[in-house]
Amino acid sequence: MQLSWLEDFIELARTRSFSRAAENRCVTHPAFGRRIKALEQWVGAELVVRSHPVSLTAAGQLFLDAATHSVDVLSAAKAQLEDSSAPVEQTLRVATGRTLARTFFPAWYEQLTQRLGSFPVSVSTGGAQEVIFRLGAGEADLLVIYSSPTTRLLIDPLRYESLTLARETLLPVSATDTKGRPRFKLVNAGTATPTPWLGFSQSLTLRGVLSKHLAGLPKKLALHMVYQADSYESIHAMALRGMGVAWLPQQLVQDDIRQAQLVVIGGPEMRVNFDISLYRLRGNSKPLVNAIWASVAADAIGPD
């Protein structure tokens, strides 16, 4: 039996969906199903009813409590062992998104070292569910992430505390033509040909933020999705090539806007504000983490 099987089962019990649980665990649907079947063979009983949505058998309900307790105990023990064997100079472990690792983290880390002195850091990147899992599993000391209804749903405030590090904005942008004018415009639904749109895949944190904003506009936009990806950088590259409009974080596109490769389109109501947030497990006792948290809390914008 592997620990990952228990984590798979807990995620399946939470989502009640094989496809969603497989996506959150970053494995293919068939591989995820085989792992659940292997766990059932090890337990010697069927744990789930393969319906829509998935439900747990009586044995599954009983085993869920044991699996959750086992994962929590093992994660806590792992974290304690790492603390006891750590060298005097601690390495800060930060989990974050790929875009934030490029656009936000370098300047933020430089600011921290100016206040606290130099310290080593190890940064791991991934999708929202992946980096949140790393924090919960004790594989990261801090989590830097775009804040959204999705992340707030996945992160239990009873287990984690948070601070808002910065405000960010999703800007609607278009590539420019030879005269520096936008190649595309945002138009209202029913009045013109839809504008080609470069969209976010479901795994991206900001998909829900943007969808909620667009749904709340007084007049709906005529948008035709021609491309979607689970990488802001990929969407950024397609926008630069003039393949369609895209809403992208300001820090990611600000240089392109200054160089007139991209231009902001639409009015102020088309821009979407959101937060960059910092999370840690409550009760984290590492001196370096506590020093960073106190430093950030002194001038943080506010709680997430």
Task: For the chain, state the CA radius of gyration.
Answer: 22
CA angle 267, 264, 231 (to 5 degrees): 120
pLDDT at 8 (0 to 100): 87
**Cα 175 to Cα 184: distance, rounded to the nearest angstrom:** 8
| Mean pLDDT within 16-31 | 88
pLDDT at 89 (0 to 100): 54
- Could you tell me if 304 and 152 are in contact, meaning their C-beta atoms sit under 8 angstroms apart? yes
| Mean pLDDT within 244-263 | 96
Confidence of residue 85 (pLDDT cuts 50, 70, 90): low
Phi and psi at residue 223, to the nearest 5°: -125, 135
pLDDT at 300 (0 to 100): 66
192-207 pLDDT, tens digit each: 789 999 999 988 889 9
**Cα 157 to Cα 205: distance, rounded to the nearest angstrom:** 18
Closest Cα to residue 224, out of 238, 244, 208? 244
Asked if the model's pLDDT at residue 60 lies above 80, the reply is: yes
- Write the CB contacts of 260 (distance below 8 Å, at least 6 apart in sequence): 176, 180
| 126 or 249, greater pLDDT | 249
pLDDT at 214 (0 to 100): 93
Asked if the model's pLDDT at residue 304 lies above 70, the reply is: no
- Running DSSP on this structure, what letter comes out for residue 31? H
DSSP β-ladder status, 160-175 and 272-281: antiparallel
How far does the chain reach from its first CA to its final CA, in angstroms? 38
Distances (CA, A) of 275 to 3, 165, 219: 34, 7, 25
- Running DSSP on this structure, what letter comes out for residue 193? P
Return the number of other C-beta atoms located less than 10 Å from residue 222's C-beta: 16
| Mean pLDDT within 137-157 | 85
Asked if the model's pLDDT at residue 143 lies above 80, the reply is: yes
Percent of the chain at pLDDT > 70 equals 94
Q: Provide the residue type at 2 as one letter.
A: Q
- Running DSSP on this structure, what letter comes out for residue 122? E
Confidence of residue 62 (pLDDT cuts 50, 70, 90): confident
pLDDT at 168 (0 to 100): 94
292-302 pLDDT, tens digit each: 999 999 876 65
Distances (CA, A) of 222 to 130, 229, 246, 271: 33, 20, 13, 16
Mean of all residue pLDDT scores within the chain: 88
Q: Where are the alpha helices (DSSP H) in the chain?
A: 3-15, 18-24, 29-43, 58-85, 98-103, 105-116, 128-136, 149-154, 206-215, 232-240, 250-258, 287-299
